[in-house]
Every structure is written in structure tokens, then in C-alpha cells.
Structure 1
Amino acid sequence: MRVRKFFERLFNWELWNFHILYAPIAPVWLWYCIKSRSLWFFTPSNPNITFGGFEGEGKKEMYRLLPAEITPKTIYVKPGIPFTELKNRVNAAGIRYPFVVKPDVGMKGILFRVIENDDQLQKYHAHIPFKYIVQEKIDYPVEVSVFYYRYPWQSTGVVSGFIYKELLQVTGDGNSSLKQLINQHERAKHRVEEMELRHGHDFERVLGAGEVFYLSFAGNHNRGARFTNLQHEINPGLVAVFDKLSKDALFYYGRYDIKTNSIEDLKNGKQFIVLEYNGAGAEPNHIYDCGMSLGKAYQTILQHWKVLYEISRYNARQGHAYWSYRRGKKYLRAAKHHFRILEKFD
């Protein structure tokens, strides 16, 4: 079993470690640093977001740039406050179970949880070491990602990627235990240790025929979500929706994660909620789950890096300066330290 999993990973680039996948094209990133004379050449890309949204920016920072009606109802919580105070704040905000909790500064679905009751909330509150958010759970049936960029000297942007997300889940057959279903699942079987940590108490449970069990509520590729490419759905209406959102926020490059009632509603600019968006550090995740070759994936990534470089260079010439080496190094070191701690608590 282990040997088979090893070879599956070896011959499927989508399962490779992030650093291994990106190592062959890293010199191109370095070349943009040299051309810009800045290790942080991307920082002017999104002038209203700290570090250009490459890493370490908070959810609060992003939500304040968007209209309140298209963002989830959210409160920000400091760890250590009395639980009664937390409960009062949640109730006053009109947020009801089940709801979502996650770090204000987070990534890759770390410490993302759906909270069903007081007991779960109290355990999460006692466990998490940093400021986090309590957020209404959006029940729109469709979750998508939209990769968008716009050159600052142009009035219309580009939707370069549009994908539908399916959360990591298994479906019961009336005979198999959860553990057996996980070991049979093409994605979950590569994450058995993580699954045991999260769902070990349910491993021997036999799921009824047709019963769906969500292994993760985070719609991230690194958390096992499956993507379906919706490139054929991109049209001028969809681009116009994100042109308006992005112009108001001075957002030039990155990826939106969205829940919507339907693809058509989103293209018409109605019945959707922005869960969050990622700036310069956003990966063009439409390279996954569409049968793309490794060479084509690299071509797509490099095309996006070129766009990022050109946007950043233009904005720098307009007065949005590159971060200094010292400032960027200090910020990135603090961000990575923050994430290492989060991973330990996850």
C-alpha cells in the first residue's frame, strides 16, 4: 500500500510538495527580483493590502475594502477573553450555529472549523493562540474561485481562472467504515494521518448508503478539495463583476473565493458572497484537476508571474514603492513564525 502511494505521488505532479513543484521555475522569480532591484518586487501589486497580499495579511484588512453586503457577517475575537463575553458578542452580531471560525491571519485552511455548539466553540476558543474570526456560515450551494488581474493602465481586467470547488468528502455504502472509505478515496488516502487526527473517533463508524461525510470544510487544494475548471463560463459579464469589485478596492492581482447561488447569478453580479481573497501570493489554482500537463502548468504559472511583475513595476513608478529589504524580511519572518505556531495547534 505504501509503495503504491509513493509511486502515485511520484508520477502525479499535483501531489508533489510545494517546494519541489516550484523549484525548477524559481530562477524566473529570482530574475524578476533582480530586474526590480527588490527581493519584494510584488509589494506594489495591490497597494491597499499589506505586502501586496503575498502572505500574512489579515481577513479584516481585506473585508474592509469590500462592500459589507457581499462579505459574511463577521466578528473578530481576541484569545483569552471570557467565554461569556464571546457568547454575548456572537449573539449580538446575530450569528447562529453552525458558523465558521478561522484565524484572522491564516492560510491553507489551517484551524478552519465549522462550529456546531457551545462546547465546540469553548474548546476552540481555549485552544487557538491568536486573534480569530467568528463568521456566519454561508449556505449558498456553489463555491468557486476566480483568478482576476487588471493592468492599472487598462480599464478592463482578465478572469484567467474560474473553478468550481467540491469539498473533500466520502459517501457511505452501508457496509464500509469511515476508515475504509478514506483508504479507498483517491485523495483522502494520501492524508490518512491528518484524517485520523481529525476524525479518528469516527473511524469505525459505518456510513449509511448515500450518507455524505465531509472530511474537510476548507475548499483548498492542499486540503483535498476537488476542482472543476469552468473556463467555458467566463464571459464579459463575469469580468465586469470583478472589474467593479477590484477597482473599488484597488485590487489588481489575485484570487477571489466565493459562494454563490448559481454560476449564472454570479455572472449577473447577484446572490454571491466573497469568503476571502488572496493577493500577490495567490496560486492560479485552475492548473489543478483538469488533466493539465506539468509543462502547461508551469507555462500558466509563469504567465501569471509575468503579469504580477508588470503590474508591480507600473505601480512602483506611480509612487507605490517596493518594500525595503529590511522591512520585508522582518515582516516575512514574523508571518512565517505565526504560521508555524498555527500549524502546531491545527
Structure 2
Amino acid sequence: MRIRKFFERLFNWELWNFYLLYAPIAPVWFWYCFKSKAFWFFTPSNPTITFGGFEGESKREMYNLLPADVIPQTIYIKPGIPVSELQQKIKDAGLEYPFVAKPDVGMKGILFRIIEDEANLVKYHERIPVRYLVQTKIEYPIEISIFYYRFPWQKTGIVSGFIEKELLQVKGDGTSSLKQLIDKHPRAKHRQEEMELRHSHRFDRIIPAGEIFYLSFAGNHNRGAKFINLKNQIDESLVNVFDELSNKTHFYYGRYDIKTASIEDLKQGKNFAILEYNGAGAEPNHIYDCRMTLLRAYKTILHHWKVLFEISRYNAQHGYPYWTYKRGRKYLRAARLHFKKLEKFD
């Protein structure tokens, strides 16, 4: 079984470690650093977001830039406050269970949780070591990602990627245990350590026939979500929605994560909520789950890096200077320490 899994990972580049996947094209990234004469060449790409939105940016910072009607109702909680104060904040905000909790500064779905009741909330609050947010659980049925970029000298941008997300899940057959279903799942079986950490106490449970059991509620590729390519749905009306949003926020490059009632509603600019958006560090995740060859995936990534470089260079020449090496190193080191702390409690 282990040998079989090894060869499945070896011949499926989508399962490769991040650093292994990007190592062959890393010299191109460093060429842009050299060409810009700035190690953090991407920092002016999104001038209204710290570090260009590459890593370590606050969700609060992003939400404050967006219209209130397109984001979930959200409150921010300091770690360690008395439970009674926490409960009062939630009551005052009118939030009802179930709702979402996640770190204000987070990544890769770390410590993302659906809070079902007060016991869940108290357990989460006592565990998390950093400021976090509590927000309405958006019930729209469709979760999607939009990769958008716009050159600052142009009014109209480009939607280069459009995908629908299917959360990591198994479907019961009435006879197999959860552990057996995980072992047969094409993606979950490669995530044994994570599955044991989250679900080992339920491994023996028989999942009824037809019942969907969610293994993760985070719609990230690194959390096992499946992506369905919707590139044929990209049209002028979709671009117009994100032109309007991005012009308001001076957002030039990155990815929106959204829930919506339908694709048509999204194109009409209604019945959708932005869960978050990611800037310069956003991966063009439409390379996954669409039968791309590795060569074509590299071509897509390199195209986006070139766009990132050109946007950043223009903004640097028009009032938004590159971060110094010292400033960027200090910021990134603090962000990495923050994420290591989160991983210990995930």
C-alpha cells in the first residue's frame, strides 16, 4: 500500500511538495528580484495591502477595504479574554450558531473551524493563541475562486482563473467505516496524518449510504479540496463585477475566494460573499484538477509571475516604493513565527 501511494505521488505532480513543485522555476522568480533591484519586488503590486498581500496580511485589513454588503458579518476576538466577555461580544453582534472561527492572520486553512455550539466556542477560544475572527457562516451553496489581475494603467482587468471548489469529503455506502472510506479516497488517503489528527476518534463509525461526511471545511488545495475548472464561464459580465470591486480597493493582482447562490447571480453582482482575497502570494490554483500537464502548469505560473512583476514595477515607479530587504525580512520572519505557532494548535 505504501509503495503504491509513493508511486501515485511521484507521477501526479499535483501531490508534490510545494518546494519540489516550484524548485525548477524558482530561478525565474529570482531573475525578477534582480531585474527590479529589489528582493521583495512584489510589494507594490497591491499598495493597499501590507507586503502586497504576499503573506501574513490581516483579514481585517482586507475586509476594511471591501463594501460591507459583500463580506460576512465579522467580529474580532483577542485571545485570553474572559469567556463571559466573549459570549457578550457574540450576543451583541447577533451571531448565531453555527458560525465560522479562524485566525485574523492565517493561511492554508490552519485553525479554520465551524463552531456548532457554545462548547465548541469555549474549546476553540481556550486553545487559540492569537487574535481571531468570528463571522457568519455563509450558506450559499457554491464556493468558487476567481483569479483576477489588472494592469494599473488599464481600466479593465482579466479573470485568468475561475474554479468551483468541492470540499474534501467521503460518501457513505452503509457498510464501510470512515477509515475505510478515507483509505479509498483519491486525495484523502494521501493525508493520513491529518486525517488521524482530526478524525481518528470516528474511524470506526459506519457512514450511512448516501450520507456526505466532510473531512475538511477549508476550500484549499492543500486541505484536499477538489477544483472544477469553470474557464468556459468567464465573460465580460464576470470581469465587470471584479473590475468594480478591484478599482475601489486598488487591488491589482490576486485571488478572490467567494460563496454565491449561483454563477449567474455572481455575474450580475448579487447574492455572493467574499470570504477573503489573497494578493501577491496567491497561487493560480486553476492549474489543479483540470488535467494540465506539468509543463502547461509551469507556463501558467510563469505568466502570472510576469504579470506580477509588471504591475509591481509600474506601481513602484508611481509612488509605491519596493520594501527594503531589511524591512521585508523582519516582517516575513515574524509572519513565519506566527504560522508556526498556529500549526502547533491546529
TM-score (norm 1): 1.00
State how 1:133-172 maps to structure 2 within 5 Å: 133-172=133-172
Residue range with higher mean Cα deviation, 83-92 or 21-30: 83-92
- Give the match for residue 109 of structure 2: 109
SS in 1 for 2:319: coil
SS in 2 for 1:46: coil
- Give the match for residue 280 of structure 1: 280
Does residue 79 (structure 1) correspond to residue 111 (structure 2)? The answer is no
- Give the match for residue 332 of structure 1: 332
- Give the match for residue 321 of structure 1: 321
| Superimposed CA distance per residue, residues 130-150 of structure 1 (whole angstroms, 9 cap, x where no aligned partner) | 000001100000000000000
The structural deviation recorded for 1:344 is 1.1
The structural deviation recorded for 1:196 is 1.2
Aligned equivalents of 1:98, 1:197: Cα separation in 2: 22
- Give the match for residue 120 of structure 2: 120
- Give the match for residue 257 of structure 1: 257
Aligned equivalents of 2:260, 2:307: Cα separation in 1: 28
State how 1:234-245 maps to structure 2 within 5 Å: 234-245=234-245
SS in 1 for 2:28: helix
The structural deviation recorded for 1:301 is 0.1
- Give the match for residue 2 of structure 1: 2
- Give the match for residue 202 of structure 1: 202
The structural deviation recorded for 1:166 is 0.3
The structural deviation recorded for 1:91 is 1.3
The structural deviation recorded for 1:94 is 1.2
Aligned equivalents of 1:247, 1:291: Cα separation in 2: 33
Does residue 53 (structure 1) correspond to residue 75 (structure 2)? The answer is no
SS in 2 for 1:75: strand
How many residue pairs get aligned? The number is 346
- Give the match for residue 294 of structure 1: 294
Q: Which runs of 5+ in 2 are unaligned?
A: none
Aligned equivalents of 1:2, 1:91: Cα separation in 2: 50
Aligned equivalents of 1:169, 1:245: Cα separation in 2: 32
Aligned equivalents of 1:239, 1:165: Cα separation in 2: 20
Aligned equivalents of 2:246, 2:171: Cα separation in 1: 38
Aligned equivalents of 1:227, 1:264: Cα separation in 2: 19
Q: Which runs of 5+ in 1 are unaligned?
A: none
Identity of aligned residues (%): 72
- Give the match for residue 17 of structure 1: 17
Aligned equivalents of 2:196, 2:122: Cα separation in 1: 22
Amino acid across the alignment from 2:325: Y
- Give the match for residue 41 of structure 1: 41
The structural deviation recorded for 1:58 is 0.5
The structural deviation recorded for 1:249 is 0.2
Amino acid across the alignment from 1:92: D
SS in 2 for 1:108: coil
Aligned equivalents of 1:172, 1:193: Cα separation in 2: 21
* TM-align CA RMSD: 0.4
SS in 1 for 2:144: strand
Aligned equivalents of 2:22, 2:191: Cα separation in 1: 21
The structural deviation recorded for 1:79 is 0.4
The structural deviation recorded for 1:193 is 1.5
SS in 2 for 1:28: helix
Aligned equivalents of 1:73, 1:4: Cα separation in 2: 46
Aligned equivalents of 2:115, 2:219: Cα separation in 1: 16
The structural deviation recorded for 1:201 is 1.0
The structural deviation recorded for 1:265 is 0.4
Amino acid across the alignment from 1:267: K
SS in 2 for 1:232: helix
The structural deviation recorded for 1:200 is 1.0
Amino acid across the alignment from 1:326: K
The structural deviation recorded for 1:28 is 0.2
Aligned equivalents of 1:137, 1:195: Cα separation in 2: 23
Aligned equivalents of 2:196, 2:311: Cα separation in 1: 44
Aligned equivalents of 2:45, 2:339: Cα separation in 1: 23
- Give the match for residue 216 of structure 2: 216
Aligned equivalents of 2:280, 2:95: Cα separation in 1: 31
State how 1:304-319 maps to structure 2 within 5 Å: 304-319=304-319
SS in 1 for 2:191: helix
